Structure 1
Amino acid sequence: MKRIFSGIKPTGHLTLGNYLGAMRRWVEIDQHRSDALFSVVDLHALTVEHDPARVRRLSRQAATLLLAAGLDPERCTLFVQSHVDEHARLSYILECTATDGELRRMIQYKEKSAQARGSGESVRLSLLTYPVLMAADILAYGTDEVPVGDDQAQHVELTRDLAVRFNQRYGHTFTVPRATHPPVAARVMDLQDPTSKMGKSHEAGAGIVYLLDDADVVRKKVLRAVTDSGRDVAYDRAARPGVTNLLEILAACADGDPMELAGSYSSYGALKKEVADAVVEVLRPVRERHARLAADPSYIDEVLRKGAERARGMARPTVDAAFSAIGLLPA
């Protein structure tokens, strides 16, 4: 079986975008067809200003929601990144392989550092180097495939480059992974700004459907979604980003084709009502299972403990081999 790795960052409450773009694929496909590891990548949440108590709270909530969505700890490995030391160990080795230039070209660093400079502030060094930690997350496990959204493709390319470079310099150590993308709704957009991703760390939540929103809140957000000028329902991301976003959400919820669905609606109102109904029904079982799991924190702790133990056993041989290959004495 192929091995896959994917992670989710606890920087905000998980959203419909997280679910349709990644989590549902993990549940329905990846954990059944592969040796799958899924991690709450809490170390990545430290690259920006944060409240420690909130990071801990969101890390537990993310793990609970992943289980509520349907990840089965008997089929896959679910763990918290900071519980497995091999991630940080390998990250430094890969920093000795990466270059300053290629990290400064990463889109997120360029955007956030430019914003900080514009306001007379600076960013943390970890914001520059965290793509290397992400590469370590992936390479530590001999990962074959990384299921990601479109916005993370650049990070997988960096991971591939570092793996190839290390292997060429120090001998074959790492599997070179490839990115895989879900066919529909790989990037769910904000309902109030359909040109921007539905991000869990956005301050304004009017356009963001959170997984734990109740049904009335979900309906209200969808029915207030921004659409486009004109009246016809057409699938065209460039000319009709608002309607296209709604069609892609509906297609992902109903396993349909957004272009075909466009022909089924004569008004924006009818489309919004259908999308609201579909999203409510998709999220209902997740919210209900989350409530049951959150009432038993000892079960969550045990799942994460066993997951970290299993992940540690998988990662350590590869990380030890990388230490040896690069010239370090064995402990």
Structure 2
Amino acid sequence: MGKILTGIRSTGVPHLGNILGVMIPSIKISNMNKKNSSFIFIADLHSMVKLSNMKSIKNNTYQIAAAWLAFGLNTENCFFYRQSDVSEVTELAWYLSCFFPYKRLTLAHSFKKKQNEKKKSKKEISLGLFSYPILMAADILLYNAEIIPVGKDQLQHIEIARRIASFFNKKIGKQLFKLPNAFLQKETMSISGTDGEKMSKSKNNWINIFSSDDILKKQIMSIRTDSKSLEERKNPEKDYIMYLYKLIASSEKVNEMKEKYIKGGYGYYDAKIELYNLIIRKFSTERKRFFSLMKKKSFLDGILYSGSKKIKSIAINRLNEIRKCLNFNPINL
């Protein structure tokens, strides 16, 4: 398996969609991959386009790091680092931006969506939001990563990274960059939240397994349902509780709940309680680890510092190769 790279923005604790769609698959691939072929980073630079309170980035970074470690990421077997510690990625982003047409970036879904929102609120869009796909491409191309685990909504960004790599290679007449490929798991390519829309903290439709029991229960109880009574039969294929339950329960337990839905005499409240209890049981070890790690900020700092130091020389050597192609002087180590 080739080099794999993935990152999660430091906009707060990862929600269930992040965990099932990105973190668990990435850890599994990292464990199967040969040593130091996996690049897993905390995208704190990317988070700047979302956060209004910059003071929260640091604590958010701790939360992301603690979550990765809680789920068993082996940092000895991969590169685990903070994006902002590797300044070479921003230098590469500038080079890439000079080789990619402005008009193509205006077609990015994330930009167009935000542009429509801003028209309503009459607020300006930052240049950082507009050039977001360029920085994402730099994250990938700096290490010639080949496999990028993403959700369905990120597919266009991988395609943009491929286009940028192709433009750059053609311009300098050398296959300097490999073209990355998106890796999607069908069942977790786009995980719905409590309202059936894509799970998102900004939409407040997320499930936070690292919250207190009371808050977690409240989030699960907010899952949208139809108005069928307890006695009525229910359709398990068109229910958001059942949808989330299927993502984490065994096939045996899923079939048991389906039978209850179809038979009737089983209410949505009961289904929500089952989902809540399942999450508490299934992720009990990870929750304990997370809460423990969040009390050890100096330990987390050490892990991130070690990871950033390990990858720094690789980033510099790679950037020197790119600088040489552009007739710039190399960076002195």
Per the TM superposition, whether the score is higher than 0.5 is yes
In structure 1, which of residues 78, 81, 86 is the aligned counterpart of residue 80 of structure 2?
Answer: 78
Structure-2 residue corresponding to 1:253: 248
Aligned to 1:98: 100
Q: CA RMSD in A?
A: 2.3
Q: Is the 8 A contact 1:144 1:178 kept in 2?
A: yes
* Secondary structure of 2:3 counterpart: strand
| Offset, 1:229 | 5.8
Q: Does 1:281 align with 2:284?
A: no
The match for 2:178 is 175
TM-score normalised per structure 2: 0.88
Measured after TM superposition, the shift of residue 260 of structure 1 is 6.1
What is the rounded CA distance, in whole Å, between the counterparts of 1:220 and 1:126 in structure 2?
Answer: 35
Task: Give per-residue Cα distances to partners, 1:83-137, cap 9 Å, x unaligned.
Answer: 0111101100110121111111111111112211222211111100011000000
- Structure 2 counterpart of 1:227, from 225, 228, 233: 225
Matched residue SS, 2:330? coil
In the TM superposition, what is the alpha-carbon distance from 1:257 to its structure 2 partner? 9.7
* Aligned residue in 2 for 1:310: 310
For residues 94 and 259 of structure 1, the distance between their equivalents in structure 2, rounded to whole angstroms, comes to 47
Quote how far apart the aligned CAs of 1:208 are.
2.0
User: TM-score, normalized by length of structure 1?
Assistant: 0.88
Aligned mates of 1:176, 1:261 — CA distance in 2: 45
Q: Distance in 2 between matches of 1:257 and 1:9?
A: 35
Aligned to 1:265: 260
Q: How does 1:9-48 map to 2 (within 5 A)?
A: 9-34=9-34, 35-48=37-50
CA distance in 2, matches of 1:321, 1:129: 24
CA separation in 1, counterparts of 2:96 and 2:251? 42
Structure with max Cα Rg: 2
Quote the Cα distance in structure 2 between the aligned partners of 1:221 and 1:177. 36
Q: Give CA deviations for 1:57-105 in whole Å, capped at 9, x if unaligned.
A: 1112211221112111112221100001111011001101211111111
- Residue identity over aligned pairs, in percent, reads 27
Which residue does the alignment assign to 1:200? 201
Q: Which runs of 5+ in 1 are unaligned?
A: none
- 1:262 shift after superposition: 7.1
Q: For this pair of structures, how many residues does the alignment match?
A: 319
Classify the secondary structure of the residue corresponding to 1:133: helix
